[in-house]
Amino acid sequence: MPAPVTLSGWGRFPRQPTRLVAPRGDEGFAGLLAAGEGLIARGHGRAYGDAAVGRPVTAATRHLDRMIAFDPATGQLVAEAGVTLAEVIAAFLPRGWFPSVTPGTRFVTLGGAIAADVHGKNHHRDGSFGAFVDWLDLMGPDGTVRRCSRGENADLFGWTLGGMGLTGIILRAAIRLRPVETGWIRQETRPAADLDAAIALMEEARPATYSVAWIDCLSQGAALGRSLVLIGEHATGAELTPRERPHPWGPARRSRTVPFDAPPGLLNGWTVGAFNALYWRNGLRAQGTRLVDWESYFYPLDAILGWNRIYGPRGFAQYQCVLPLAESARGLRRLIGAIGAAGAGSFLSVLKRLGAQESRFSFPMEGYTLALDFPVGRRSLALMERLDRIVLDHGGRFYLAKDARMGAATLAASDPRVAHFTAMRAGAGLAAAFRSAQSERLDL
């Protein structure tokens, strides 16, 4: 077993000691489980907090990197858990296929997407990633591999979608891609002068395939919650202009890299406020409909490799909650008001409309989800505790794939499913075999 290393999620907070290993094949993972120390699987490390940092062992899935089969009649792809969405897009977009659901980064693995049951800009219409998983192969604590689907080991399948890797090691899966004619998105930008206008626009946009809003969390008074709502549809070949036709699957783009950690304190209320004002003005100028490439619409931050370094050496914490539909407007006003009063604006503030979803342990519920990033510090951690109380007051819940600092009591108070999940883990003998720094912090 290798010596301990210090490991974190994408937010670079918290950092935890663990022994990092990368088994090859089913036998390698079974052997690791036989040691009986307890582990968690880790894909590309894009969970923001400590969900994919094991206590005491972290089992990397980077060698589970094969695409096994594809059915062009149904769009079903069978692949190993360590394959990333970026690799899927590179292989299949030129053939006219795209992920049916994608989060805000294409560098997440299939195993990670299933474990977090990620959602995207189309949840209001299509649901979460799990809705397009036909089956998965899951290794249990005894090394046995079980095929899980809605018709086979259905209970275990349901708990694994959104189970944060705590039900076993996802080895392979069959997912369904969606057919597309081009790699371009027909994007409509609609400005909203305040939160009520933003919610009204997103409700109006529910028939659209994709919708998302950038929201200014520092604006107050009459402009509280001013937003830019971005509505998207996959463009057809007939919609391409002479500018796009030479590159029907999107232009070749070059990534930039953040070469060093930004100085501490670079992202503060003043700099974020200036950025928000500029972004709002640019959005007003860009309102209307235009074609944008798939990378710009779905993954704007992926173009900046190592963008997590802009938050400085202490890292950042992402905060994401969802409020039930009936409470969304009231709860969002309180959340935005608290953020503005603290002067701790988030550099990245995203609002999405989620559709109805009944699931064992996945994050989404029908309502509005707000995602925020804060540089780690005493003031920001205290602010997030205040935000927790507002979310609880309005019946909301929290996204474990983004969590890095929540307490067990807060999670339990937000979600009655927690008790059922922990009981299931104890009854199935999973708790000792599969555990992460997050699961121990949250008493899962």
- Are 153 and 215 part of one and the same domain? no
- Are 149 and 277 part of one and the same domain? no
43 contacts 147 by C-beta, under 8 angstroms: no
Nearest to 227 by CA among 189, 260, 261, 198: 198
* Domain assignment present for 205: yes
159 contacts 360 by C-beta, under 8 angstroms: yes
182 contacts 245 by C-beta, under 8 angstroms: no
Last residue of a domain, one of 157, 180, 203: 180
Helix, strand, coil abundance in the chain, percent, nearest 5 = 35, 25, 40
* Domain assignment present for 125: yes
Provide the number of structural domains found in the chain: 2
* Domain assignment present for 4: no
How would you list the strands of the sheet with 5-7, edge to edge?
A: 5-7, 16-21, 57-60, 39-42
- Are 176 and 118 part of one and the same domain? yes
- Are 252 and 390 part of one and the same domain? yes
Last residue of a domain, one of 113, 145, 180: 180
Q: What percent of the chain has pLDDT over 70?
A: 95
pLDDT band at 258 (very low <50, low <70, confident <90, very high): low
Rg of the chain in Å (alpha carbons): 21
- Are 209 and 353 part of one and the same domain? yes
- Are 287 and 207 part of one and the same domain? yes
- Longest Cα pair distance anywhere in the chain, in angstroms? 61
pLDDT in tens, 93-148: 999 999 999 999 999 999 999 999 999 999 999 999 999 999 999 999 999 999 99
DSSP state of 107: -
- Are 86 and 195 part of one and the same domain? no
- Are 238 and 387 part of one and the same domain? yes
* Domain assignment present for 433: no
Please name the residue that has the structure tokens 């608290």.
338
Rounded-to-integer distance, Cα 24 and Cα 62, Å: 9
Q: Which residues contact 426 (CB under 8 A, 6 or more apart)?
A: none
What range does the domain containing 164 cover? 67-180
82: number of Cβ within 10 Å: 24
Please name the residue that has the structure tokens 């089913």.
26
Give the model's pLDDT for residue 345.
Answer: 64
- Are 152 and 224 part of one and the same domain? no
Per-residue pLDDT for 256 more than 80? no
Per-residue pLDDT for 45 more than 80? yes
CATH code for the domain in which residue 246 is found: 3.30.70.2520
Nearest to 187 by CA among 291, 279, 101: 291
- Are 167 and 199 part of one and the same domain? no
* Domain assignment present for 44: no
128 contacts 364 by C-beta, under 8 angstroms: yes
Give the model's pLDDT for residue 341.
Answer: 87
Give the model's pLDDT for residue 313.
Answer: 87
pLDDT band at 262 (very low <50, low <70, confident <90, very high): low
DSSP state of 261: P
* Domain assignment present for 424: no
* Domain assignment present for 12: no
Alpha carbons within 13 angstroms on the beta-carbon side of residue 179 total 8
- Are 113 and 211 part of one and the same domain? no
Rounded-to-integer distance, Cα 40 and Cα 46, Å: 14
- Overall residue count recorded for the chain in this entry: 444
Torsions phi, psi for 57 (to 5 deg): -120, 140
